[in-house]
Amino acid sequence: MNKKKFLKLLEEKLNILSEEERKDIINEYKDTIEEKVRHGSSEEEAVADFGSLEELAREILKAYKINPDYSKKEESDLKEIVNEGENLIKKSAEKLSKWTKETVEDFKNNDHNWTLETIFEIIIKAIILLIALGFLRIPFYFIEYLGTGIFEMAFSPVDVILRVIWKCIIGLIYFLTCIVIAIIVFRPYVSSNQKNPKKKINQQNEEQTKPIKNNVLLEILKAFAFIFAVFPLYFVDFGCYVAVALCIFLLIQGVPFIGPLFISLSISIFFTFLTNLIYQLLYGKKKTYCYSLIISAILFVSGCFFTISTISKFETYNNLPNETFKQKQIRIQEKLTEDKLIIPYWNYTKQEDNELEDGNIEITIDYYPDFIKDIENYTTNENNKKYLHIEKHYKNPTKQTKKQLYHMIIDELKEYHFYEYSDLSDLKITIKANHNTIEKLQ
């Protein structure tokens, strides 16, 4: 067994330990193996000196006062959990079977005269409805495409946020539209049958002696519609009005957010109308007027024009305002003896400095200590390639820092300026090397 496989298997057997503890143990055994290799032993011989991997892992766990047989205990606990789950499934199945039988009996005693023709009629209508809803998705797709095209004109990352919100709104509207259409199509099949005059007379006589039994399918349909349509809409309404309040607050602060205010207000009115419409279809008998829908459309179109006009005035920058927060810098010196140096970090800059000797690399890292606590760097070697890993640990900003950042963003938005504020939590890495060495960087 070579060093790499041994360390991997040992780490897997010590997975109960914390990451820091495992890392210390693996590094210790790694150094021991490398020391033996330097004195003439092969990797296989150095690994064999440790004896059985199972016994070694048990001894390490005992040193940390952990029961080495914890995995067996976990297996027994898992079996117990599986048995309890099976018992729960059996009890649930019994209750579901009992409820189904009661529902079928109530359905048989219902006013409807269900025939084979009626069942086939419902199936055919369901198929036609699915096809129609598929075609209905086409205009919603074009509306979604039009909105995302408009919001792409905004600056980053506002454009991404607006596009995601727009897609969610259009998708939700399409989903709710499908529910409303399904209710309208299938409601005659779950409503009380009043076509039979004799039955109607009997029902009127029975009203004096006992209450009429509610239609089971209608109640189930109403319950599902309320849970999956009306209830989520209450939360959407709340979120829309929070967005309206936020836009009003930013306007008071002097930020030119008239367009977003109109858009959020129109969306709030629309979803309030939609919530009321679905609720009235399910439970109410009052008429629903479309005045609010017209007002919502006018506000939305006006808001889009105001937003486009505001976005066209903004100037975007790929940096941060000068002298906002203090930067800190660390320097790292590396000696490259491998064929390649790979830095698995998405953003860094190469600079050619021919005063440096071959293989010498100078790395400079600039960061904002108000947002990044510290930086850790370490190297690994694999397949004659050297990997330089740079990890940053975020810091929770203080109240004063948050206040300073808030005022900075507000002041710049007032001046129609937008900066790359994400740079505050990012690293600026600069790598210097001569011409021959810099070609080995990846």
- pLDDT confidence bin for 322, thresholds 50/70/90: confident
Residues 37, 43 contacting (CB under 8 angstroms): yes
164 and 279 together in one domain: yes
- pLDDT confidence bin for 107, thresholds 50/70/90: low
Residue 387 lies in a domain: yes
242 and 207 together in one domain: yes
Asked if the model's pLDDT at residue 78 lies above 60, the reply is no
142 and 273 together in one domain: yes
199 and 63 together in one domain: no
- Each residue's pLDDT tens digit, 41-55: 888 888 888 888 888
281 and 348 together in one domain: no
Percent of the chain with pLDDT over 70: 76
- Each residue's pLDDT tens digit, 409-430: 888 888 888 888 888 888 888 8
Domain endpoint, select from 253, 286, 313: 313
215 and 286 together in one domain: yes
- Each residue's pLDDT tens digit, 328-356: 888 888 887 766 777 777 678 888 888 88
- Each residue's pLDDT tens digit, 248-261: 988 888 888 888 88
Please report which helix (H) or strand (E) contains residue 159, including its range.
helix 158-190
- Each residue's pLDDT tens digit, 381-410: 877 777 878 888 888 888 888 888 888 888
Residue 168 lies in a domain: yes
* Total number of domains constituting the chain: 3
- Domain span including residue 23: 3-68
Whether the predicted model's global pTM rises above the 0.75 cut: no
- Each residue's pLDDT tens digit, 194-210: 444 444 444 444 444 44
308 and 197 together in one domain: yes
Structure tokens at 431: 């790598």
- pLDDT for 349 equals 84
Average pLDDT, the chain: 76
- What separation in angstroms does the CA of 406 have from each of 27, 46, 320, 353? 44, 58, 14, 40
- pLDDT confidence bin for 294, thresholds 50/70/90: confident
Domain endpoint, select from 288, 313, 338: 313
Asked if the model's pLDDT at residue 313 lies above 80, the reply is yes
242 and 364 together in one domain: no
Percent of the chain with pLDDT over 90: 0
Q: How far is CA 292 from the centre of its chain?
A: 33
- What separation in angstroms does the CA of 14 have from each of 7, 18, 71, 259? 11, 9, 11, 57
Q: In sequence order, what are the residues at sequence separation of 6 or more whose Cβ sits closer than 8 angstroms to the Cβ of residue 373?
A: 393, 394, 395
Return the higher-pLDDT residue of 308 and 180: 308
- pLDDT for 208 equals 44
Task: Find the length of the chain.
Answer: 442
26 and 158 together in one domain: no
Return the higher-pLDDT residue of 338 and 19: 19
Asked if the model's pLDDT at residue 215 lies above 50, the reply is yes
251 and 352 together in one domain: no
Q: How far is CA 69 from the centre of its chain?
A: 38
Q: Mean pLDDT check: name the lowest of 145-149, 286-290, 373-377, 410-414.
A: 286-290
226 and 192 together in one domain: yes
